[in-house]
Chains A and B, each alone.
Chain A
Amino acid sequence: MTVSKVEKETRGTFTLELDPGESGFPFLPGQFNMLYVFGNGEVPISISGDPERPDILVHTVRAVGKVSKALCRLRPGDVLGVRGPYGSSWPVDACRERDILFVTGGLGLAPLRPAVFHIFNHRRDYGKVILLYGARSPDRLLYTKELETWSRALRVEPAVGSAGPDWKGHVGIVTNFIARMDCDPAQTKAMICSSESMMRSMISELNLLGIPDREIHLTLERNMKCGLGLCGHCQLGPTFVCKNGPVYSYDRVKELLAKREL
């Protein structure tokens, strides 16, 4: 597929728009693709675009190593290989009529963004919707333009580690603000994405609010070479993160995540 647009989000993080051609690229929020850069390799990257716009395929990539750096060096007109979409999705259909609480930080908004788009597009189908989104500093927040747009229909609650005097959001780590989100625990579905250690703290805060494990959904990361459940790398106990995940309801992986070095 050809890159049609590249936008710098923050230092080292870029959003690529790809042209999937006539057939478009339908996907479910939370699914990922395997992206291949000529001669460099192939890595799993979440799809970050609007599920109602299959005519543009969007990926947000942070340059951390060989392949992700090569992805971030691509320019409009460059071509890359795309396989997918793979994996499970956020339960956006199953939680209509419900209140939704998104909790995420930094790049973690990338895999959640299609779910936020979906809910924004079908706003009337859902109850109260909160997006609690943290970053180290305001310049590390992704998709700032959209956060503005979304805030017209959803409650967007940004939280940063440190900020200048003109910052209007929260200051501190996201987990500190979960308790203040005045959610109705009986009504709320939580969808979270962050590092595993952060998600652990998020979950204990969500549990304190009274949101049970089965109402918490999260997305996991494991080494992946194939995306098809055949290379063996992404195993988490009996599950393959590429095919049973990456999105899981927490009650299904709680025991697995509690095991060290599983």
Chain B
Amino acid sequence: MHFIIERENLDRLLAALQEHGRIIGPRITENTFGHRDIASSQDFPAGWTFEQDGGFFRLRQRRDPSLFAYTVGQDSWKKELYPPRSRLLSLQKTESSFSVTPEKSSSEKVVFFGVRPCDLAAIQIQDIILIQGPFADPEYSRRRENAMIVAIECTQPAATCFCASLGTGPGISSSSDYDLALTEVLDDGLHYFLVRAGTEQGRAVIAGLGLAEAPEQNIIRAENLVQEAASRMGRTMDQKGIKQLLYDNHEHPRWDQVARRCLTCGNCTQVCPTCFCHSVYDRVSLSGKEAERFRSWDSCFLLDHSYIHGGSVRVSSRSRYRQWITHKLASWIDQFKVSGCVGCGRCITWCPVGIDITEEIQAIRQSDERGCNA
């Protein structure tokens, strides 16, 4: 069931959500966009949008007061659920042994406000890996449990978006895992949001606010906006047979071409909302009596990632780019029964040299080594 809330009443929704926890949402601070604390609806980037392309991101002023007419920036919710660096253990040397204190993961209740459909899909993928696998990650599980999700549908896709071809956006399907889902509508001077609940918690918020049920024509209006967005995606990626395509093109000459551009900086893996590789390292106090173990995001683009004594398995940058894209789009499917890509386009925007995952796939497809021309 769809409800309606006017722009003027958005702060009532925020106040109700604050009861659940600290709200984190989209915000422009110091001329950059990111996920920050939200105190009121004034904090949302009213009248702003982004221009994005390979290696390019600019904030642009719009002519209307829309709050969410843009897509995703470099921050993904992975930063909140699976922090870039966290302490796992603190250890203390004792007389003849050492004691171990596992880190208590945060029990803070939070509300993620403005989770985009692609990012919602990404969270569900990380759930499969970090919660539903044979070994659940305690920190991720805890943070995930404590997060309430307010998702928002996209009506202004970027040139780097391709969720529509992966089926992860720009709308939110009712089977997705959200508490509330919003769609922003600006219409002849009217500014309102359609609201749906996906969980009991979400339904309770709607009931608490006493929101009115949305009239049919408003629902249709919102659906049209999302459908139009789907037709305005800047990029596409053909998923057909993609797993075998990559498995079979391990020696494709395209890997050499992309390797000439790739800096193996790992930016793409850091901004990707599904990449989960991490490393673990130790820090010891000067006295040698205290030690800590930290986990931090790692990247398959780094030489150390595949290091075994005597050398790395993936030495060339071609092999590291190939590993990344093959894992994302092919072996991920074998491992977790879903693709590792949700079409958010972050890896395209934040690649300093503008390497484009959709273009690389297209190039390989066009000269598929299994027969066609090379």
A-B interaction = yes
Query: Which A residues fall within an 8 A CB radius of B?
Result: 2, 38-42, 64-65, 68, 77, 79, 81, 221-223, 225-226, 228-233, 235, 237-238, 240, 243, 259-262
**CB atoms of A79 and B327 under 8 A apart:** no
Main secondary structure of the interface of A (DSSP, over half): loop
- In the complex, how many angstroms separate the beta carbon of B343 from the nearest chain A beta carbon? 21
Given A77-B96, A231-B277, are A261 and B91 neighbors across the interface (CB < 8 Å)?
no
- In the complex, how many angstroms separate the beta carbon of A49 from the nearest chain B beta carbon? 22
- What separation, in Å, do the CA atoms of A2 and B316 have in the docked complex? 42
List B residues 296-334 near A (Cβ within 8 Å): 298, 300, 304-309, 313-316, 318-319, 322-323, 327, 330-331, 334
- What separation, in Å, do the CA atoms of A81 and B93 have in the docked complex? 13
- In the complex, how many angstroms separate the beta carbon of A150 from the nearest chain B beta carbon? 28
- What separation, in Å, do the CA atoms of A231 and B280 have in the docked complex? 9
**CB atoms of B298 and A230 under 8 A apart:** no
- What separation, in Å, do the CA atoms of A221 and B305 have in the docked complex? 14
**CB atoms of A238 and B276 under 8 A apart:** no
List B residues 9-63 near A (Cβ within 8 Å): none
- In the complex, how many angstroms separate the beta carbon of B120 from the nearest chain A beta carbon? 22
Which of A81, A222, A230, A259 has the most B CB atoms < 10 Å from its CB? A230
Q: Which residues of A contact B135 (CB under 8 A)?
A: 228-230
**CB atoms of B98 and A243 under 8 A apart:** no
**CB atoms of B284 and A39 under 8 A apart:** yes
Q: Which residue of A lies closest to B247 (CB)?
A: A237
Given A233-B298, A238-B335, are A40 and B308 neighbors across the interface (CB < 8 Å)?
no
- What separation, in Å, do the CA atoms of A197 and B89 have in the docked complex? 38
- In the complex, how many angstroms separate the beta carbon of B73 from the nearest chain A beta carbon? 24
List B residues 66-100 near A (Cβ within 8 Å): 91, 93, 96-98, 100
- What separation, in Å, do the CA atoms of A228 and B298 have in the docked complex? 16
**CB atoms of B129 and A230 under 8 A apart:** yes
- What separation, in Å, do the CA atoms of A233 and B323 have in the docked complex? 11
In-complex Cβ contact of B335 among A64, A231, A240 (8 A): A240
- In the complex, how many angstroms separate the beta carbon of B281 from the nearest chain A beta carbon? 7
Main secondary structure of the interface of B (DSSP, over half): mixed
Q: How many A-B residue pairs have CB under 8 A?
A: 95
**CB atoms of A230 and B130 under 8 A apart:** yes
**CB atoms of A38 and B279 under 8 A apart:** no
**CB atoms of B278 and A225 under 8 A apart:** yes
Q: Which residues of A contact B134 (CB under 8 A)?
A: 228-229, 243
Q: Which residues of B contact A39 (CB under 8 A)?
A: 91, 282, 284, 288, 291
Could you name 18 residue pairs across A and B whose Cβ atoms are closer than 8 Å? Answer: A38-B93, A41-B281, A41-B282, A42-B293, A79-B96, A79-B98, A223-B305, A223-B307, A225-B280, A230-B129, A230-B137, A231-B279, A231-B298, A233-B279, A235-B327, A238-B334, A261-B318, A262-B313
- What separation, in Å, do the CA atoms of A146 and B247 have in the docked complex? 45
Q: Which residues of A contact B331 (CB under 8 A)?
A: 235, 237-238
Residue B210 lies at the interface, judged by CB distance under 8 Å to chain A: no
- In the complex, how many angstroms separate the beta carbon of B307 from the nearest chain A beta carbon? 5
Q: Which residue of A lies closest to B309 (CB)?
A: A64
**CB atoms of A232 and B96 under 8 A apart:** no
**CB atoms of A232 and B130 under 8 A apart:** no
List B residues 109-137 near A (Cβ within 8 Å): 129-130, 133-135, 137
- What separation, in Å, do the CA atoms of A231 and B281 have in the docked complex? 12
Q: Which residues of A contact B104 (CB under 8 A)?
A: none
Given A40-B282, A228-B135, A238-B331, are A233 and B305 neighbors across the interface (CB < 8 Å)?
yes
Q: Which residues of B contact A38 (CB under 8 A)?
A: 91, 93, 98, 291
- What separation, in Å, do the CA atoms of A172 and B31 have in the docked complex? 69
- In the complex, how many angstroms separate the beta carbon of B301 from the nearest chain A beta carbon? 12
- In the complex, how many angstroms separate the beta carbon of A158 from the nearest chain B beta carbon? 25
- What separation, in Å, do the CA atoms of A39 and B290 have in the docked complex? 8
Given A39-B284, A79-B96, are A223 and B308 neighbors across the interface (CB < 8 Å)?
yes
- What separation, in Å, do the CA atoms of A230 and B137 have in the docked complex? 8
Q: Which residues of B contact A259 (CB under 8 A)?
A: 250
**CB atoms of A222 and B291 under 8 A apart:** no
In-complex Cβ contact of B314 among A226, A229, A261 (8 A): A261
**CB atoms of B284 and A233 under 8 A apart:** no
- In the complex, how many angstroms separate the beta carbon of A13 from the nearest chain B beta carbon? 13
In-complex Cβ contact of B315 among A81, A233, A261 (8 A): A261
Q: Which residues of B contact A221 (CB under 8 A)?
A: 308
In-complex Cβ contact of B309 among A2, A42, A65, A243 (8 A): A65
Given contact pairs A39-B91, A230-B135, A235-B327, a sample of 6 additional A-B residue pairs in the complex whose CB atoms are under 8 Å apart: A38-B291, A225-B298, A230-B276, A231-B277, A231-B278, A237-B247
- What separation, in Å, do the CA atoms of A64 and B310 have in the docked complex? 9
**CB atoms of A232 and B306 under 8 A apart:** no
Given A38-B91, A238-B335, are A79 and B97 neighbors across the interface (CB < 8 Å)?
yes
In-complex Cβ contact of A232 among B250, B298, B309, B330 (8 A): B298
- In the complex, how many angstroms separate the beta carbon of B195 from the nearest chain A beta carbon? 36
Q: Which residues of A contact B314 (CB under 8 A)?
A: 261-262
- What separation, in Å, do the CA atoms of A259 and B194 have in the docked complex? 51
- In the complex, how many angstroms separate the beta carbon of A21 from the nearest chain B beta carbon? 13
**CB atoms of A233 and B277 under 8 A apart:** yes
